[in-house]
Structure 1
Amino acid sequence: MHLSPLVTSIPENPLRALFPYAGRPGMLNLASGHPSRDAYDVPGLEAAAAAAASEANAWSYGPAGGDPDLIEALAGLSAPVPKGHRLLVTSGAQQAVDLALRALAPPGSRVLLPEPIYPAILSLCAAAGIHPLGYSVAAGDQDLAGLAGTLAEGHIRAIYALPTFSNPTGESWSRRQRLRMLELCAAAGVPVVEDDPYRMIHLDAPPPSSLAELSRKVPGVVVVHAGSLSKFVAPGLRLGWAIAPAPLAQAMQELRQATDLQPNSFAQRVAVHYLRSGRVEAHLERVRALYAARKTALASVLHLAGFDVPNTGGGMFLFPRLPEGQGADALFERAVAANVLIAPGRAFALPGRGAGLDDRVRLCFAGLSEERIREAAQRLVGAMERAES
């Protein structure tokens, strides 16, 4: 039996490879980007599920573009849907990104991805036969000179961006950087796919406007905006959305019909009732307070141990640089022995480009209680210090 090269070329997701370690007794998991169970509004979701269960349309086929009631509710959460655009319900932001890139970039074409990158994006590019090229946006690089040069070379079909509380770094682009990217992409005729699943989880001030919102100031630019309920309602619902120009949204809808027909009807009705319940803002405030305390707890222990921890304003991750002389791969082995799980920086590299991330680790502060976060950080520091002695 011969499998399609589009299947055999999919790289192993290095984060999925960590799952067996996560199940070990006593393991404290800082590697996986999962919300903690105490960050779910279980009473509110139970009430929403009970209301959905009584509705016949929750158990039926529905529109490929999504439940009209959910489309209306999501439009109230996201950036305004511009004239000539549509909101499409998807199975998480991941499917929104996948559908957008497939609709924009034929097999064999090139797309730009930020470095470092969430590895599942590499998998979906491989499955679509798309060739990824890297670009970077450093905090002080307001003119995006490197990106300008790459775009000027031509033959780029789309650019993927996660400018708000990025995964893995947790960092955000400035408003000026966002506008500059849009200007560059408008001039080059390159559509932008904006992945924005962490926007609601701001831990101090709200982030700058999304690329989709700012695109109204840049004539000629095309932006597909992807959002998700996974990070602030419940990942098990597997619901997200895309906002795109109507012809592109139609193409994305036809692609999703060819695979899974439609979003899950029951999950959509649960989401409708929850978003209409009036509980969302209070729930978000509780989640923000939980995560802010956990991020502070983790960062404070790491700072004292000599880690370089960038200041981030939200999301779920820190991507600190290890103290001088430390390597992430070796630290991973010692950390596992100390029953704390981390994600080495190489896991977030484009193929063949991991050397620059040898001294970085991604740590998720959302999945454990504040007390457990401190314990996990102390175990990690202890594992590092044992190598130095």
Structure 2
Amino acid sequence: MDTDSREPRYRQIARYFEQQIVSGQLLPGSALPTERELSVRLGINRSTVTAAYSDLRASGFVQSTQGSGTRVSETLWGDTPKRGLNWHSYVSGGSFVPTLAIVRRVREIAAAPDTVVFSRGELSADLLPSDQLSALLRELTLSMPLDYANPKGEAETREVISAHLKEQYRVNAAPDEILLTSGAQQALHLVTHCLLNPGDAVGLEGPSYAYSRSLFVSAGLRLFQMPMDEHGLIPEEVVQLYNKHKIRMIFVNPTYQNPTGTTLSLSRRRRLLELCEERRIPIVEDDPYSLLALEGAAPPPLSLKALSSGGGHVLYMGTLSKMAAPGFRAGWIVAPSGVASRLAEAKQEMDYGYSTILQEVTKLYLTSGVWQGHLADLRQALTRRRNRMLTALQEHLGNRAEWLVPQGGYYLWCKLNRKIPDGELVREMEAHRVAVMPGSVYGAEGSSLRLSYAREPENRIEEGIRRLAAVLRRL
């Protein structure tokens, strides 16, 4: 304690724990000292500690439960952000972004030598079309001007993507309804910051990849969970959320969902569209994996965008990052022309439009026929890796967990049979040199793990599951 400071003592205590949480020294779920214990250790009145903990609770940093004490918050579902809050105030003010410390720690573990990485949602080096792209680049001629790009994307590129969407996804999108983005992350950023206001309530699948994105919190949005089962989102729950919280938009990843790998059934897709159309709730559909059906699996249902009548209330996001390479950064939003133009204005302020050179590469990749051959090879490789992971899980984890069998995409969702605090899980992962992403990162309740079978070579998958089993035995 700084006894000479003009800052009240309770604020010094609260600020200390805020810094510990934001820096990752205290992870979600970690216990704080009891009020009595801390007052004795600091030699101060217990009411001062009580005031500090009350301040931390009001800011959303901690939660207190009778009989369990005070712990670092594990979730912000439904919490109301501070008025006018943005990302800069989170950094400068140290406000809590849920699970950020966990994500950072897992990434550090994944970067360590000899770690088996199941935490990253990207392809391993041997699955990237490096040779094919190198050959295409030797044929590249720059027909587009090299000045700042059209903020929506050059007309020729949008025409190519329009044809690609119609042929592969049965999505009818005029070039004027397409906005090129630097992957799905930028698309989400544009939607949350341009079409919504601080304090707006939005629905996310629970669990959801989008929950881990700090951009939702930086936009000041209130996040509400839309429950799921093995068949995906339960449409009727959207009505309950709308009636209770007046949600203004929902965000869904209905095909080979990240993180659970589930696929929303055709009947539920139709029902979801019906309910949202009746209540005029816009849907943001993220569709990066639907061409990655594994061998032997039935093709997934058409996208919500393709199924919707007119499609005007579905904003559709896609990317080449999951089928080609993360560094491609080729993404797009399909939206009514006026909405696409509004988002393009904001994008121009951010980066003056998508790189014209990358647009040329995107055009060449989609029109050369190379991508179809690569996609077929990729589906075969992902099928083998998924099967290797399933076999290893059965052999080494047994009854310690249960899991869903994915029919496409990158991810396998694993539910543990007992709760394990994230801090302990991360510590043992580091010791055993294996990296997985805890389910709490995606807003899941209980103990669960997202395992990616796309990142590691096939011959490393069993070793990684063996290490994960050792982690769970220790815990």
- TM over 0.5, shorter chain: yes
2-structure distance, mates of 1:121, 1:265? 31
1:321 matched to 2:415? The reply is: yes
Correspondence for 1:309: 403
Would the aligned equivalents of 1:142 and 1:176 in 2 still touch at CA under 8 Å?
no
Poorly superposed stretches of 4+, deviation over 6 Å: none
Task: Output the amino acid matched with 1:104.
Answer: L
Q: Quick one: structure 1 residues 302 and 131, their matched pair in 2 at CA, closer, same or farther if it must change by over 3 Å?
A: same
What SS does structure 1 have at the residue aligned with 2:202? Answer: strand
Moved more, 100-109 or 165-174: 100-109
User: Of 150, 161, 180, which aligns to 2:271?
Assistant: 180
1:110 matched to 2:210? The reply is: no
Correspondence for 2:345: 254
What SS does structure 2 have at the residue aligned with 1:318? Answer: strand
Rg larger for: 2
User: Of 335, 343, 347, which aligns to 2:429?
Assistant: 335
1:144 matched to 2:235? The reply is: yes
Percent identity for Structure 1 against Structure 2:
30
User: Of 308, 328, 346, which aligns to 1:215?
Assistant: 308
Would the aligned equivalents of 2:288 and 2:319 in 1 still touch at CA under 8 Å?
yes
What SS does structure 2 have at the residue aligned with 1:249? Answer: helix
Q: CA RMSD in A?
A: 2.3
1:344 matched to 2:431? The reply is: no
What SS does structure 2 have at the residue aligned with 1:226? Answer: strand
Q: Quick one: structure 1 residues 23 and 177, their matched pair in 2 at CA, closer, same or farther if it must change by over 3 Å?
A: same
Q: Quote how far apart the aligned CAs of 1:153 are.
A: 3.1
Correspondence for 2:126: 38
What SS does structure 2 have at the residue aligned with 1:74? Answer: helix
What SS does structure 2 have at the residue aligned with 1:263? Answer: coil
Correspondence for 1:6: 86
Task: Output the amino acid matched with 2:112.
Answer: R
Would the aligned equivalents of 1:183 and 1:221 in 2 still touch at CA under 8 Å?
no
Moved more, 59-68 or 228-237: 59-68
Moved more, 169-178 or 89-98: 89-98
Q: Quote how far apart the aligned CAs of 1:227 are.
A: 0.2
The aligned runs of 1:1-389 (5 Å cut-off) are: 5-7=85-87, 8-9=89-90, 11=97, 13=100, 14-52=102-140, 54-55=141-142, 57=144, 59-78=146-165, 79=169, 80-82=171-173, 86-118=177-209, 122-139=213-230, 144-153=235-244, 155-203=246-294, 204-216=297-309, 222-304=313-395, 305-306=397-398, 307-322=401-416, 324-325=417-418, 327=420, 329=422, 330-349=424-443, 356-357=445-446, 359-387=447-475
**TM-score for the superposition, normalised by structure 2:** 0.74
2-structure distance, mates of 1:159, 1:297? 35
Q: Quote how far apart the aligned CAs of 1:82 are.
A: 4.5
Would the aligned equivalents of 1:160 and 1:193 in 2 still touch at CA under 8 Å?
yes
Q: Quote how far apart the aligned CAs of 1:5 are.
A: 3.4
Task: Output the amino acid matched with 1:213.
Answer: A
1-structure distance, mates of 2:163, 2:341? 21
- Give the number of aligned pairs: 374
Moved more, 13-22 or 244-253: 13-22
Task: Please give the per-residue CA displacement for 1:251-298, whole angstroms capped at 9, x wherever unaligned.
Answer: 111111121110012111111111111111110011111111111111
Task: Please give the per-residue CA displacement for 1:22-54, whole angstroms capped at 9, x wherever unaligned.
Answer: 1211111111112111111112211233333x4
What SS does structure 2 have at the residue aligned with 1:209? Answer: coil
2-structure distance, mates of 1:258, 1:94? 17
